[in-house]
Structure 1
Amino acid sequence: MKNTLYTLVLSAALFSCAENNNGEINDPLSPTNMTESDMLNFSVDTLYTDLENPWGMVWLEDGRMLVTERQGEILIFENDEFTGEKVQGMPDVYARGQGGLLDIQRKDDWLYIAYAKPMQGGGATTIMRARLEGNNLVDQEELIQTTPATDSGVHFGCRIIFDNEDYLYFSSGERGTKPNAQDLTNSHGKIHRINLDGSIPEDNPFVNEPNAVKSIWTYGNRNPQGMIYDAENNRIWAHEHGPKGGDELNLIEKGKNYGWPLVTFGVDYDGSVISEETEKEGITPPVHYWDPSIAPCGMVQVTSDRYGAWQGNLLIGALAHQHVARVELDGTTYAGEEKLLQDIGRVRHVAQSPDGYIYVITEGTGLMVKLIPEE
């Protein structure tokens, strides 16, 4: 049952603080945790509280909503409530560490699904497509898989987007092996571009490079877990789940090298130095980086007119700091940000429904919430 928990008024400051005067952390779902602003009033409807490790969200033409769970299940929601049903026929997934069933998107009557496929030698980030007939996946086609397979349990990516020309882009992490990201002969640490049927576009940047993986669009990417296509401006944005102090927001452009691990603003989690350099000739710098890291995952660009003051903003999930970052852009320049829903849980994804509402899913707290702007 839906439960309107509170009305939150956004802070006009760059960041809103979740600590009270005694240093205690306020409960973000408490009616007493309000801030005042002239920007936008909204309430939060909690739609579901039993998610485990959710990853992706997509809406079907009939209005139903699908949510992927990393262990391999796809939950079915209708009218903002869990139906109790799950999609049938999903292939086995390599559910180890950060791997498993990942993103899901829809194009026409096809569902495009990213998952870690069990392979000899471990698992491989794989893109498949299928149609949904009732609750069953039918006409399944495997489009592409990353190579080589590895038994690493980290840095799979993976997000899927489409552009105005019906190309599909997907991200793949470097699987915890830093040199992979600079090696064009493997798929890891890259953003890829393919046709909707899995074939390789002839104008991809490395199709004529000997031994290169032909689907590569960009390289030097550590572990992109959020990616969006700005249709109005024909731009791709991706954020980089980076090392400690090295999360990045990047403008993704054909054939460019984003530097991992040759340059970085961060250090390894044990404090050891990865690179002394933060910039280098031939390396595309980030539009913004986060220090301290927020551990970004999932992202949406607000295009709905329901959230007038937010139009064009990026809403980015923060796993480590457990909030949604509302990032303002001035063209292709970072202009500032605000923390929303502080301490709601590890935000795995943020998405916008066809009727223009923002949904957020979390792990740890297991929530699906809907942001309702005040009329």
Structure 2
Amino acid sequence: MHSFRHLIMFSALALFGPPLAAESQIFTSQEANFRLETVAESLEHPWSLAFLPDGSMLVTERAGRLRVIRNGELSPKPVAGLPASAVTGQGGLFDVVLHPGFEKNRILFLSYAHRTSEGMTTRVARANFDKDRLENVTVIFEALPRSGTSRHFGARMAFDASGYLYISVGDRGDKDRAQDTEDDAGGVHRITDSGEAAPGNPGLDDPGINNTLFTWGNRNIQGMSVHPITGDIWTHEHGPRGGDEINVLRAGTNYGWPEITYGIGYSGLPITLDTEKDGMAQPLHYWDPSIAPSGMAFYTGLEFPEWQGNLFVGALKMQKLVRLKLKDRGVTEEEDLLVKLAERIRDVRTGPDGALWLLTDSPQGKVYRVVPAQ
């Protein structure tokens, strides 16, 4: 793991200015002053953000809409041609990810909850984005079996440097499914851009493992990011009461849920007495109590040189942005930001403009741009 020797310590959050309008507040710390710019608002539970080559952006709304932000303005009409999402419970439209060759092929990928008479599941569709419309929409992944629950869909996605797509699928509220390698729930799947199992997947040589599975023992991953130096896929996942985890994905690795956890059940009773077992990976970092993490990004921009290489994680329950300083694949410093903003942070991205971008999870959700205060 690369050692971030040139990072500067960033701590002691303080807040100045009026308590209502985020844009009028200056957020300060030992090494940086920053503020928030509202780029778009009145979005219904925005879930994911993607930056297009022409400078515009795509934003998903969990209610089943894909929106375009162009020239700093939210287009009033949603993108047409989307597949139908099952908007119930935690379900709906989730992630949007561009194909690595998007500038030429205009291909993107959407994850969403889908329902039939057999129940609900996590699906991924591939489509061409053309003039604010989706064409050639094709389902390339569907987690099976379906179930009647409307929670723990996972649904975060990311491409690695080889062009393979990683898709998280939650345990769907049935914890034992995460240890069943013939069940698609409770793990991360790795596929080609057309939906085939990616070469090197552990199940290709083992009939007891579904061939798209890359890892298992994952409860509900809602943060996924590519390390800017190593190319590793990093994830975070929700624990129950405590035990939210950050992990680095390794093929064929069991991350332990529910056999090991640093959390307890919602009833207050233990899920297990074990926090480690042979053959099960330990988290790189965990939270207890739970912060309900969602969205995650390594900061790679130039607007804040002191943040270079830091990892930013949104928090829903605790309504904050967490900054983690890393060294040798470990967390050396943790700081809570935006705690007085009182917003559920759903997604975090580093933009091509060098700013940090945030989505807030509410019926009147916002797109925020984090910029230097000066």
Same fold (TM over 0.5): yes
1:157 matches 2:154: yes
Cα distance in 2 for residues equivalent to 1:122 and 1:271: 29
* Cα offsets for 1:244-284 (capped at 9, x unmatched): 11101111111101000000000011212101011111110
Pair 1:36–1:147, CA change in 2 (3 A): closer
2:202, 2:209 within 8 Å by CA — same for their partners in 1?
Answer: no
1:366 matches 2:365: yes
* Cα offsets for 1:292-320 (capped at 9, x unmatched): 11100011111112221111111111001
Q: Offset of 1:195 from its aligned partner?
A: 0.7
Pair 1:210–1:34, CA change in 2 (3 A): closer
Cα distance in 2 for residues equivalent to 1:155 and 1:58: 22
What is the aligned counterpart of 2:82 among 75, 87, 90? 90
1:225 matches 2:217: no
1:42 matches 2:34: yes
Q: Offset of 1:174 from its aligned partner?
A: 0.3
Unaligned runs of 5+ in 2: 1-7
What is the aligned counterpart of 2:71 among 79, 84, 93? 79
Pair 1:305–1:331, CA change in 2 (3 A): farther
What is the aligned counterpart of 1:308 among 296, 305, 308? 305
Cα distance in 1 for residues equivalent to 2:76 and 2:23: 28
2:23, 2:37 within 8 Å by CA — same for their partners in 1?
Answer: no
Cα distance in 2 for residues equivalent to 1:359 and 1:106: 17
Percent identity between the two aligned chains: 38
1:29 matches 2:27: no
Q: Offset of 1:363 from its aligned partner?
A: 1.6
Cα distance in 2 for residues equivalent to 1:106 and 1:30: 30
Cα distance in 2 for residues equivalent to 1:344 and 1:370: 16
Cα distance in 2 for residues equivalent to 1:218 and 1:351: 24
2:169, 2:220 within 8 Å by CA — same for their partners in 1?
Answer: yes
Letter in 1 for 2:266: Y
1:139 matches 2:136: yes
Cα distance in 2 for residues equivalent to 1:41 and 1:48: 22
Q: Offset of 1:62 from its aligned partner?
A: 2.3
1:27, 1:33 within 8 Å by CA — same for their partners in 2?
Answer: no
Letter in 1 for 2:68: I
Unaligned runs of 5+ in 1: 1-9, 20-25
Q: What is aligned with 1:247?
A: 244
Letter in 2 for 1:67: V
1:280 matches 2:272: no
Q: What is aligned with 2:348?
A: 350
Q: Offset of 1:374 from its aligned partner?
A: 4.3
* Cα offsets for 1:67-107 (capped at 9, x unmatched): 10111101111122212121001111111111110000101
2:166, 2:191 within 8 Å by CA — same for their partners in 1?
Answer: yes
Letter in 1 for 2:239: G
1:128 matches 2:131: no
Q: Offset of 1:12 from its aligned partner?
A: 4.4
Q: What is aligned with 1:5?
A: none
Q: What is aligned with 2:4?
A: none
Give secondary structure in 1 for the equivalent of 2:49: strand
TM-score by length of 2: 0.91
Letter in 2 for 1:369: Y
1:67 matches 2:66: no
Cα distance in 2 for residues equivalent to 1:248 and 1:28: 33
Cα distance in 2 for residues equivalent to 1:12 and 1:357: 17
Pair 1:30–1:74, CA change in 2 (3 A): closer
2:228, 2:298 within 8 Å by CA — same for their partners in 1?
Answer: no
Structure 1 window deviating more from structure 2 (199-208 vs 101-110): it is: 199-208
Give secondary structure in 1 for the equivalent of 2:98: strand
Within a 5 Å distance, the mapping from 1:261-272 to structure 2 comes to 261-272=258-269
Q: What is aligned with 1:210?
A: 207
Q: Offset of 1:206 from its aligned partner?
A: 1.6
Cα distance in 1 for residues equivalent to 2:88 and 2:211: 28
Q: What is aligned with 2:5?
A: none
Pair 1:202–1:46, CA change in 2 (3 A): closer
Letter in 2 for 1:339: D
Give secondary structure in 2 for the equivalent of 1:161: strand
1:246, 1:293 within 8 Å by CA — same for their partners in 2?
Answer: yes
RMSD: 2.1
2:243, 2:286 within 8 Å by CA — same for their partners in 1?
Answer: yes
Letter in 2 for 1:361: L
Q: Offset of 1:18 from its aligned partner?
A: 7.7
Q: Offset of 1:40 from its aligned partner?
A: 1.5
Q: Offset of 1:217 from its aligned partner?
A: 0.5
* Cα offsets for 1:231-251 (capped at 9, x unmatched): 421211100111111101111
Pair 1:12–1:305, CA change in 2 (3 A): closer
Cα distance in 2 for residues equivalent to 1:307 and 1:370: 13
Q: What is aligned with 2:286?
A: 289
Cα distance in 1 for residues equivalent to 2:157 and 2:200: 20
Between 1 and 2, higher relative CO (CA 8 Å, sep ≥ 6) is seen in 2
* Cα offsets for 1:212-247 (capped at 9, x unmatched): 211000000000000111142121110011111110
Give secondary structure in 2 for the equivalent of 1:50: strand
TM-score by length of 1: 0.91
